[in-house]
Structure 1
Amino acid sequence: MVDARCSCGALTLTLPGPSKLVVACHCLDCQRRTGAPFGVGAFYPAEAVAISGTPKEFTRDAASGGKVHSYFCPNCGSTVYWKADRLPSMIGVAVGALADPKYPPPIRSVFEQSKHDWVQIDGGVDHFRQGSGAKKSD
């Protein structure tokens, strides 16, 4: 089991272990959500995640269609997890909320059309110009 939590500890997720689906997203919404040049999410089956605490919710239109519901701590403001209408059985967890430098790296890098030029994500990563549709051709 691993835990993800907000900065103050009021919102915590208990997870079954490291995810095999870790995604770096460069869309403008993830840049704004994180305050960083990209967000990194680990995806888990919703039924495998235990949530403790009462989050606030922010809902936005997703670049890939549908809505994304972000859940953040009402005390410290940390976004800890999100759910997408297009993936109703999954929960995306902010990898930074896991605070584990040895957590597995991304296997996908998506929405690279808005990736900052100086960002490099190397290794065995599939690169996509937009969502997880057609791969980026270099």
Structure 2
Amino acid sequence: MSLELLAKCQCGLLSVNLPGPSSSVVACHCHDCQRRSGSPFGVLAYYADESVKITGEATRYERATATGGTFETFFCPTCGSTVYARAGRHPALIGIAVGAICDPTYPAPVRSVWEERKHDWVVIPEPVQHFPRGRS
């Protein structure tokens, strides 16, 4: 049985083949991730860049981070779904939008960052590491 997973946009034109679940899943409550995801927080699963296979074309958006770095979001130019992202401070990693995987058994976050901007009703349970801002 293969553990391979597929993350894809709404229309299916942009997808990423993944080797299986990641052990590095991060929930981010910063304002940019709220706007990027259209929800109270974004959740990305991080993989070594060489372990994934991207199929299809993506539109890239780069923004500055609160800590002085850069963050790139890649989304489908047809349907607009965010599928993956790259943080400038971790160039060898790619973050895959967990929502694009559509697997309710996918592992929960191990870290929750920018909790000072977390919506009051959102509860991220223990044993997750909690950070008021980004992890240093």
Measured in 2, the distance between the counterparts of 1:93 and 1:22 equals 9
The aligned counterpart of 2:15 is 12
* Structure 2 runs not aligned, ≥5 long: none
Aligned length: 133
**Is the CA contact (8 Å cut-off) linking 1:65 and 1:86 kept in structure 2?**
no
TM-score calculated relative to the size of structure 2: 0.96
The aligned counterpart of 1:88 is 91
Per-residue CA distance 1:62-103 (angstroms, 9 max, x = gap): 123311110000000000000111000000000000000000
**Cα-Cα RMSD:** 0.7
Residue among 69, 73, 89 paired with 1:70: 73
Measured in 2, the distance between the counterparts of 1:47 and 1:64 equals 26
Give the counterpart letter for 1:106 in structure 2.
P
Measured in 1, the distance between the counterparts of 2:28 and 2:81 equals 18
The aligned counterpart of 2:123 is 120
Measured in 1, the distance between the counterparts of 2:129 and 2:66 equals 19
Give the counterpart letter for 2:123 in structure 1.
Q
* Structure 1 runs not aligned, ≥5 long: 134-138
Q: How many angstroms does 1:108 deviate by?
A: 0.4
Give the counterpart letter for 2:129 in structure 1.
D
The answer to whether 1:108 aligns with 2:88 is: no
Give the counterpart letter for 1:4 in structure 2.
A
Q: How many angstroms does 1:9 deviate by?
A: 0.3
Measured in 1, the distance between the counterparts of 2:56 and 2:12 equals 9
Measured in 2, the distance between the counterparts of 1:131 and 1:84 equals 12
Measured in 2, the distance between the counterparts of 1:16 and 1:36 equals 27
Runs of at least 4 residues off by over 6 Å: none
Measured in 1, the distance between the counterparts of 2:129 and 2:71 equals 23
Give the counterpart letter for 1:31 in structure 2.
Q
